[in-house]
Amino acid sequence: GAVRGALRALCLAALLGALRAGGVELTLELPDSAQRCFHQELESGTKFTLDYQVISGGHYDVDCYVEDPNGKTIYQETKKQYDSFSHHTEVKGVYTFCFGNEFSTFSHKIVYFDFQVGDEPPILPDMNNRVTALTQLESACVTIHEMLNAVIDSQTHYRLREAQDRSRAEELNGRVSYWSVGETLILFVVSIGQVMLLKSFFTEKRPSSGGAGT
């Protein structure tokens, strides 16, 4: 009973640790010819990771760049559908990362990004300072924790793929609907034209009046 209780406590800690390590996840709408920027104050020597992906709009591409507090560009990509960037800060201050859709004149974009700051804390308090091997119970909890992190990453990936596929399906459905309406209008116009043309063939022409006088 005591072993099971300890196992449940450690597994619960692994689950909570995995959930706490989610960071900041946002989905934003990026209008055409627009740019959205975000700011985060970080300490020196801090690791951060930026993952982003365009879910819908245009050719599913966006510009992205990251600047340090001194205005130095430490990351810059143009017309990317998705990417991941990790960096260890060298100076303390406010870091800025921006998404740009300035190259597009009519396409709105939906962009998802995940901003992680710092390394994930160890699941066990003395994990980094241990000199002995992990017990079977501790090893099982560490394995569960890693599997939970993998599940969270997979769920995020599949949610993005599902949103992207749904957007494409809705776009395709709209195009099919417009094409069907266009075909209907064309058939309607052609039918009226044919009726009027056939009617003109069978319309009796009246003889012109006014013969020569005698």
Whether 151 shows a pLDDT value over 60: the answer reads yes
pLDDT of 126: 60
pLDDT of 3: 41
Tokens representing residue 124 in the block: 């066990």
pLDDT digits (tens, 9 = 90+) for 154-164: 787 787 778 77
pLDDT of 95: 95
Note the helical H segments in 106-135. Answer: none
Residue 22's pLDDT band (cuts 50, 70, 90): very low
Query: Hey, which of 1-15, 72-86, 104-118, 191-205 has the most confident mean pLDDT?
Result: 72-86
The Cα–Cα gap between 75 and 68 comes to: 10
Residue 23's pLDDT band (cuts 50, 70, 90): low
Cα separation values, 89 from 22, 42, 86, 122, Å = 20, 8, 10, 21
pLDDT of 128: 55
Whether 130 shows a pLDDT value over 70: the answer reads no
pLDDT of 62: 94
pLDDT of 123: 63
Residue 5's pLDDT band (cuts 50, 70, 90): very low
What are the residue boundaries of the structural domains of the chain, listed by start? 21-121, 136-200
The Cα–Cα gap between 214 and 203 comes to: 33
In this prediction the pTM is 0.61
For the domain made up of 21-121, give the CATH fold: Jelly Rolls (2.60.120)
Q: Are 43 and 95 in contact (CB under 8 A)?
A: no
Whether 209 shows a pLDDT value over 60: the answer reads no
Residue 20's pLDDT band (cuts 50, 70, 90): very low
